[in-house]
């Protein structure tokens, strides 16, 4: 069983020409989901991580399960206006316009070693904004990890150009 074989491709979603990589088929498969989390647990056990931070929304599923298995706290990174307490935000560029992600002010302590998790790395804009946000709070990114990398869109290279380590369980050509 490969993790990649459990991920469904939906052509032309959300728009013409996009091959959407859908992890809901992986998540509903108890073996596939367990193998995915166990792969990450194996990689990050003993890595000196203090917290797992994940990006809304599918990143929460992977990140929370991983944090639980590693015995670490979980930090949600959300879109603007979704967190109830005092937050710090970071704006980033989209193809057309800008967006903002936020984190609670008390989520990251100075010196925390943080694993950043999401389901997929595409262009890397959101992950890059999450890295900047965590670093602005005094955290250090241990690694950015993803279930899927879409290498043609350049997100991995974008993060690596910032000096970040990037790990993905599988990649898909023809994003």
Give the DSSP letter string of 32-91: HHHHHHHHHHHHHTTS---EEEEETTHHHHHHHHHHHHHT-EEEEEEETT--SS-EEEEE
Task: Determine what percent of the chain is predicted with pLDDT higher than 70.
Answer: 98
Is the model's pLDDT at 1 over the cut of 90? no
**H or E segment and range at residue 144:** strand 140-149
Give me 109's structure tokens: 């302590």
37-79 tens-digit pLDDT: 999 999 999 999 999 999 999 999 999 999 999 999 999 999 9
Report d(CA 134, CA 118) in Å as an integer. Answer: 14
Q: Check the CA dihedral 52-163-170-13 and report its sign.
A: positive
Give the residue numbers marked as catalytic: 58, 95
**Mean pLDDT for the stretch of residues 146-153:** 96
Q: Which of 16-25, 27-36, 87-96, 117-126 has the lowest mean pLDDT?
A: 87-96
Q: Where does the pLDDT of residue 18 fall: very low under 50, low under 70, confident under 90, or very high at 90 and above?
A: confident
Q: Is pTM beyond 0.85 here?
A: yes
Report d(CA 132, CA 47) in Å as an integer. Answer: 21
Is the model's pLDDT at 144 over the cut of 90? yes
Q: Are the C-beta atoms of 140 and 164 separated by less than 8 Å?
A: no
Q: Where does the pLDDT of residue 17 fall: very low under 50, low under 70, confident under 90, or very high at 90 and above?
A: confident
Q: Where does the pLDDT of residue 175 fall: very low under 50, low under 70, confident under 90, or very high at 90 and above?
A: low
């Amino acid at each position: 069983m490969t993790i990649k074989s459990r991920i469904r491709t939906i052509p032309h979603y959300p728009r013409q020409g996009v091959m959407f990589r859908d992890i809901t088929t992986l998540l509903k498969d108890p073996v596939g989901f367990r193998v995915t989390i166990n792969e990450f647990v194996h990689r990050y056990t003993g890595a000196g991580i203090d917290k797992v931070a994940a990006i809304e929304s599918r990143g929460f599923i992977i990140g929370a399960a991983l944090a639980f298995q590693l015995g670490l706290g979980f930090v949600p990174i959300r879109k603007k206006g979704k967190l109830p307490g005092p937050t710090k935000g970071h704006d980033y560029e989209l193809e057309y316009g800008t967006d903002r992600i936020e984190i609670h002010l008390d989520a990251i302590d100075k010196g925390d070693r943080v694993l950043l998790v999401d389901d997929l790395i595409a262009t890397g804009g959101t992950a890059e904004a999450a890295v900047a946000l965590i670093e602005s709070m005094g955290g250090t990114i241990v690694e950015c990890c993803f279930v899927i990398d879409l290498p043609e869109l350049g997100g991995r290279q974008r993060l690596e150009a910032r000096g970040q380590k990037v790990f993905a369980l599988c990649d898909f050509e023809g994003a």
